[in-house]
């Protein structure tokens, strides 16, 4: 089937491309770029994307798909639908499933199960067996089966000696170790430690719980000359530590979630468990530092940390409720509203953080928009004003603090692997 | 006159007029408690559930007695296991109880914020009887009432909360309530037991007990909550007593006019010496009596609102 995308502003920072072009796509390959007349190309389906932008497919390097184990909360299929609706053509899924992704069989199961879907799913495998932080997982075997990074996400690798071996071993494959930075001896709480936690009498987690591990991990990456990726940073201290480390040439990269650059611990006053996450929401001064870090490149990318939870588990006493929120379908809208429209980042910079950099970190090929390339695109309307409605999310879970929030900017369509997601439907192309 | 909210979740943000109304109403009920027949028909026909997810003796008895003296029908639901362990969610438990048509729920829970959450899932009036380390408003009110009863005023009084402030919902309710009523509030304790940023609430921090005794009209002495791992924050109870314990000697050396409050139960020989606990400076048992009057006042004011 032939399709023509007309009148979109096509942007790809790695090709230094930014112009209004038409694209002819046939059998999943970009056949022609430029001005294309539907009169010349017969039997084609036309999509007019006037005033929309067309970019390399977005990539979310931090999602929890819950399969295997908690298919009541999310599956590979529903998570992929959520990703497609949110504008992503690829995701990296975290290993804290049940069982954990710490065997080649599970890596292959995920690859196999996601094969037919538009959205590419790349498993991040456990760095240690059962994510217990005691012994190395079979990293070589996992890598060969298709794991693209290693992490005990959900938990930190507590033991510095084990972390050293994980870094040294994964260095053989030039893959990053993704760390959930939290000193567990300091993180026995339900929210950020600050004035708000004092007023609410809530057990709390100080910034230094994150800063300590970020500092340790940077030193360890420097010592082993291996690659460390800091997941979901939340503190100004972490931003500064990473900035300094990058200046010294340490192989450290970092991501931030939309909630950590948008919301503060002040929201906890409502005791709504949709504001409970790990790391916790911090303060305005942390957000300020994170925005600076996004601007100057200290923070490489934006990831959702999409963490679906069953309603009955979130609708619980605050201290007992699980951490995390869904984010695949709100990440782009929040990022455009809070970063591009508020002039923190340019559109080009945002595309780098949502498409180019995560793939660079994970050694994945970056989609090119040129004749002969396989199509992998996201079409965005940066001016579309819409209201988040959790009941309409494609994700199986509805735990979002952004329900009813007004956003400007939304994905209109994604195209990958001979499939196009448009107006809530998949179209074979 | 009526209160501005149909729930009592905490004393944070509660207007002065509301606190004053509760104190005034409590004075009336305090008088009732001295009568030979200590019962009024005010809440006849009202059903109140005491939902206690955390063990409690005195608060629960005090509420129950207050309810009985107002002629309400009361039901006690006590469990020490969390909803997660029990298999039924907290929400389902509450919905079930509510389906039996109750008017008010008095709740104690180990998790901060549960009373607030209850207001979202129930139509009943909610009274917080202590949620985690957040608030314990009726305790705060009865402390304020007892201070006023003894010293005749609140405005300008200097009150120091002594001890494990970090593990205390009593401390927070006292701070919020007393400040609203015009008192100057400070805290005194080992620095490991002083919560983050308390100074920005306008609360002065003392680390020397003699100075705290000398500079205040009232000391509200908190219980060292060993059941909440307070032990991690101090080397030993002996060291705590030696550096922060209230003794007759310390009182007589620094300030013979000081008034001592304690929310109970007392760890004798830790935060208070036995001599102080039974001595002339304290009003600990008056606090207990006043507690019934305060709870009657709160139940009455919320239960008769329209």
pLDDT tens, B155-204? 999 999 999 999 899 999 999 999 999 999 999 999 999 999 999 999 99
Whether B12 contacts chain A with CB within 8 A: yes
CATH code for position B53: 3.40.50.1370
Question: How big, in percent rounded to 5, are the helix, strand and coil portions of chain A?
Answer: 35, 25, 40
pLDDT of residue A344: 98
CA dist A148 to A92, A111, A224, A303, Å? 8, 12, 19, 16
Spatial contact of A282 and A234, defined as CB atoms under 8 Å apart: yes
Residue among A265, A286, A305, A381 flagged as catalytic: A305
Whether B110 contacts chain A with CB within 8 A: yes
Within a domain: B82? yes
Of B83, B90, B135, the CB nearest to A201: B135
Say if the Cβ atoms of A317 and B195 lie within 8 Å: no
Say if the Cβ atoms of A201 and B91 lie within 8 Å: no
What residues make up the domain containing B43? 16-135+288-303
pLDDT of residue B257: 96
Which tokens hold the place of B49?
């559930």
pLDDT of residue B88: 78
Rounded mean pLDDT, B233-238: 92
Residues B159 and B42 in one domain: no
Give the helix ranges, DSSP H, for B126-268.
Answer: 137-151, 169-180, 209-214, 237-244, 248-254
Say if the Cβ atoms of A198 and B109 lie within 8 Å: no
Which tokens hold the place of A277?
């996450």
Domains and CATH numbers, chain A: 2-54+370-382+405-428 (2.30.40.10), 57-361 (3.20.20.140)
Of B112, B197, B198, the CB nearest to A202: B112
Residues B141 and B253 in one domain: yes
Residues B161 and B294 in one domain: no
Alpha-carbon distance B265 to nearest alpha carbon in chain A (angstroms): 21
Determine the Cα–Cα distance for residues B12 and B148; give it in Å rounded to an integer: 20
Within a domain: B251? yes
Spatial contact of B127 and B106, defined as CB atoms under 8 Å apart: yes
A 10 A CB-CB count for B67 gives 24
CA dist A130 to A21, A95, A162, B248, Å? 49, 9, 14, 58
Determine the Cα–Cα distance for residues A222 and A216; give it in Å rounded to an integer: 10
Buried b (16+ CB within 10 A) or exposed e, A81-112: bbbbbbbbbbbbbbbbbeebbbbbebbebbbe
Residues B108 and B188 in one domain: no
pLDDT reading at B81 higher than 70:
no
Say if the Cβ atoms of B196 and A203 lie within 8 Å: no
A18 counts as catalytic: no
Residues B154 and B280 in one domain: yes
The number of C-beta contacts closer than 8 angstroms across A and B is 73
Whether B91 contacts chain A with CB within 8 A: yes
Whether B135 contacts chain A with CB within 8 A: yes
Residues B180 and B259 in one domain: yes
Using 50, 70 and 90 to split pLDDT, how confident is the model at B90? confident
Determine the Cα–Cα distance for residues B69 and B196; give it in Å rounded to an integer: 41
Whether A270 contacts chain B with CB within 8 A: yes
Buried b (16+ CB within 10 A) or exposed e, A138-156: bbeebbebbbbbbbbbbbb
Which tokens hold the place of B188?
């005194």
Spatial contact of A315 and B91, defined as CB atoms under 8 Å apart: yes
Within a domain: B5? no
Residues B85 and B152 in one domain: no
Within a domain: B6? no
pLDDT of residue B232: 86
Whether B116 contacts chain A with CB within 8 A: yes
A291 φ, ψ to 5°?
-60, -40
Determine the Cα–Cα distance for residues A76 and B59; give it in Å rounded to an integer: 50
Long-range CB contacts (within 8 A, 24+) of A6-9? A6/A36, A6/A38, A6/A46, A6/A47, A6/A48, A6/A49, A6/A50, A7/A48, A7/A49, A7/A50, A7/A51, A8/A49, A8/A50, A8/A52, A8/A53, A8/A54, A8/A379, A9/A51, A9/A52, A9/A53, A9/A54
Within a domain: B3? no
Q: Which residues contact residue B130 at a Cβ distance below 8 angstroms, ignoring those fewer than 6 apart? A: B54, B56, B59, B108, B109, B136, B139, B169
Within a domain: B73? yes
Whether B117 contacts chain A with CB within 8 A: yes
Spatial contact of B22 and B78, defined as CB atoms under 8 Å apart: no
pLDDT reading at B85 higher than 70:
no
Residues B35 and B147 in one domain: no
Average pLDDT, rounded, for chain B: 94
Of A193, A199, A317, the CB nearest to B90: A317
Spatial contact of A8 and A379, defined as CB atoms under 8 Å apart: yes
Determine the Cα–Cα distance for residues A428 and A417; give it in Å rounded to an integer: 9
- Tell me how many domains chain B contains: 2
pLDDT reading at B230 higher than 80:
no
Residue A133 parent element (H or E): none
Mutate to test the interface with B, among A199, A206, A283 (most CBs of B within 10 A): A199
Whether A285 contacts chain B with CB within 8 A: no
Whether B113 contacts chain A with CB within 8 A: yes
∠ CA B92-B97-B100, nearest 5°, is: 130
Determine the Cα–Cα distance for residues B101 and B108; give it in Å rounded to an integer: 20
Residue A297, helix vs strand vs coil:
coil
Alpha-carbon distance B103 to nearest alpha carbon in chain A (angstroms): 22
Q: Decide: residue A341, CB within 10 A, 0-12 exposed, 13-18 middle, 19+ buried.
A: middle
Of B89, B112, B200, the CB nearest to A201: B112
Whether A198 contacts chain B with CB within 8 A: yes
Write the pLDDT tens digit of every residue in B32-71.
Answer: 999 999 999 999 999 999 999 988 889 999 999 999 999 9
In chain B, DSSP finds a helix count (H) and a strand count (E) of: 12, 9
Q: Please state the pTM of the whole predicted model.
A: 0.94
Minimal-distance CA residue of chain B relative to A194? B196
Alpha carbon A17 to its chain's center: 24
In chain A, DSSP finds a helix count (H) and a strand count (E) of: 12, 19
Packed helices B169-180 and B137-151: angle between N→C axes, nearest 10 degrees: 50
Which tokens hold the place of B247?
């003794």
Measured over the CA atoms of residue B16, residue B21, residue B26 and residue B28, the dihedral's sign is positive
DSSP bridge pairs for B160: B186, B219
pLDDT of residue B229: 73
Which tokens hold the place of A76?
């590979």
Say if the Cβ atoms of A320 and B196 lie within 8 Å: no
Write the pLDDT tens digit of every residue in A250-287.
Answer: 999 999 999 999 999 999 999 999 999 999 999 999 99
Say if the Cβ atoms of B172 and A271 lie within 8 Å: no
Residues B154 and B191 in one domain: yes
Mutate to test the interface with A, among B91, B112, B192 (most CBs of A within 10 A): B112
Within a domain: B175? yes
Which tokens hold the place of B93?
């438990």
The stretches in chain A having pLDDT less than 70 are none
pLDDT of residue B227: 74
Residues B157 and B204 in one domain: yes
Whether A161 contacts chain B with CB within 8 A: no
Mutate to test the interface with A, among B196, B199, B201, B229 (most CBs of A within 10 A): B196
Spatial contact of B169 and B134, defined as CB atoms under 8 Å apart: yes
Determine the Cα–Cα distance for residues A61 and B58; give it in Å rounded to an integer: 53
Residues of chain A with C-beta less than 8 angstroms from the C-beta of B90: 316-317
Determine the Cα–Cα distance for residues A288 and A284; give it in Å rounded to an integer: 6
Within a domain: B142? yes
Write the pLDDT tens digit of every residue in B101-116.
Answer: 999 999 999 999 999 9
Determine the Cα–Cα distance for residues B255 and B246; give it in Å rounded to an integer: 12
pLDDT reading at B263 higher than 70:
yes
Residues B95 and B35 in one domain: yes
pLDDT reading at B286 higher than 70:
yes
pLDDT of residue A390: 97
Residues B177 and B200 in one domain: yes
Mutate to test the interface with A, among B88, B109, B132 (most CBs of A within 10 A): B132
Of B110, B117, B197, the CB nearest to A271: B117
């Amino acid at each position: 089937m032939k399709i023509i995308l007309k009148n979109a502003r096509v942007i790809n920072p790695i090709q230094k491309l930014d112009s209004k072009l038409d694209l002819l796509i046939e059998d999943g390959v970009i056949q022609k770029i430029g001005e294309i007349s539907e009169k010349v190309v017969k039997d084609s389906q036309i999509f007019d994307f006037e005033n929309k932008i067309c970019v390399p497919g977005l990539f979310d390097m931090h999602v929890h798909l819950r399969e295997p184990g908690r298919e009541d909360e999310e599956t590979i299929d529903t998570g992929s639908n959520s990703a497609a609706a949110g504008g992503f053509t690829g995701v990296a899924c975290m290993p804290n499933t049940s069982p954990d992704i710490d065997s080649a069989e599970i890596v292959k199961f995920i690859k196999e199960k996601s094969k037919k879907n538009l959205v590419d799913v790349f498993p991040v495998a456990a760095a240690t067996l059962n994510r217990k932080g005691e012994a190395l997982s079979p990293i070589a075997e996992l890598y060969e089966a298709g794991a693209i990074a290693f992490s005990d996400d959900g938990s930190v690798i507590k033991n510095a000696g084990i972390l050293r071996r994980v870094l040294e071993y994964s260095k053989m494959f030039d893959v990053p170790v993704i760390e959930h930075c939290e000193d567990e001896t300091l993180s026995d709480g339900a929210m950020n430690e600050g004035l708000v936690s004092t007023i609410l009498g809530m057990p709390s987690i100080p910034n230094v719980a994150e800063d300590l591990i970020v500092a340790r991990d940077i030193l360890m990456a420097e010592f082993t000359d291996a690659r460390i990726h800091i997941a979901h940073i939340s503190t100004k201290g972490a931003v500064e530590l990473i900035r300094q480390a990058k200046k010294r040439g340490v192989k450290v990269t970092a991501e931030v979630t939309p909630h950590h650059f948008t919301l503060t611990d002040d929201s906890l006053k409502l005791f709504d468990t949709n504001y409970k996450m790990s790391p916790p929401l911090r303060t305005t001064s942390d957000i300020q530092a994170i925005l600076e870090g996004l601007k100057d490149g200290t923070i490489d990318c934006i990831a959702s940390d999409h963490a679906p939870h069953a309603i009955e588990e979130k609708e619980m006493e605050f201290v007992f409720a699980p951490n995390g929120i869904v984010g695949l379908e709100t990440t782009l809208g929040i990022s455009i509203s809070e970063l591009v429209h508020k002039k923190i980042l340019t559109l080009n910079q945002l595309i780098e953080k949502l498409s180019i950099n995560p793939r660079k970190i994970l050694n994945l090929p970056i989609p090119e928009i040129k004749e002969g390339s396989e199509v992998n695109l996201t079409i965005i309307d940066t001016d579309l004003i819409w209201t988040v409605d959790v009941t309409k999310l494609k994700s199986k879970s509805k735990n979002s603090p952004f329900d009813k929030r007004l956003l400007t900017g939304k994905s209109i369509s994604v195209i990958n692997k001979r499939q196009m997601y448009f107006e809530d439907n998949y179209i074979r192309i | 006159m009526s209160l501005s909210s149909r729930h009592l979740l905490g004393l944070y943000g509660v207007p002065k007029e509301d606190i004053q109304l509760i104190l005034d109403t409590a004075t009336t009920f305090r008088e009732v408690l001295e009568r030979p027949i200590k019962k009024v028909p005010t809440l006849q026909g009202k059903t109140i559930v005491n939902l206690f997810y955390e063990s409690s003796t005195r608060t629960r008895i005090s509420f129950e007695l207050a309810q009985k003296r107002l002629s309400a029908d009361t039901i006690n639901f006590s469990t020490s296991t969390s909803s997660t362990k029990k298999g039924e969610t907290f929400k389902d438990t509450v919905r079930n109880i509510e389906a039996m048509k109750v008017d008010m729920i008095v709740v104690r829970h180990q998790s901060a914020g549960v009373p607030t959450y209850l207001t979202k899932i129930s139509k009943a009036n909610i009274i917080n009887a202590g949620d985690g380390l957040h608030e314990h408003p009726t305790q705060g009110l009865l402390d304020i009432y007892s201070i006023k009863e003894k010293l005749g005023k609140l405005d300008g009084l200097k009150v120091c909360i002594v001890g494990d402030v970090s593990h205390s919902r009593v401390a927070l309710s006292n701070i919020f309530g007393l400040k609203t009523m015009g008192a100057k509030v400070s805290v005194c304790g080992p620095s490991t037991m002083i919560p983050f940023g308390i100074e920005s609430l306008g609360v002065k921090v003392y680390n020397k007990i003699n100075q705290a005794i000398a500079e205040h009209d009232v000391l509200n002495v908190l219980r060292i909550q060993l059941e909440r791992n307070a032990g991690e924050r101090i080397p030993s109870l002996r060291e705590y007593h030696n550096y922060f314990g209230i003794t007759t000697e310390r009182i007589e050396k620094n300030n013979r006019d000081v008034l001592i409050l304690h929310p109970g139960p007392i760890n004798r020989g830790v935060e208070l010496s036995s001599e102080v606990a039974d001595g002339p400076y304290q009003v600990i048992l008056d606090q207990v009596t006043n507690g019934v009057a305060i709870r009657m006042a709160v139940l009455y004011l919320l239960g008769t609102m329209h």
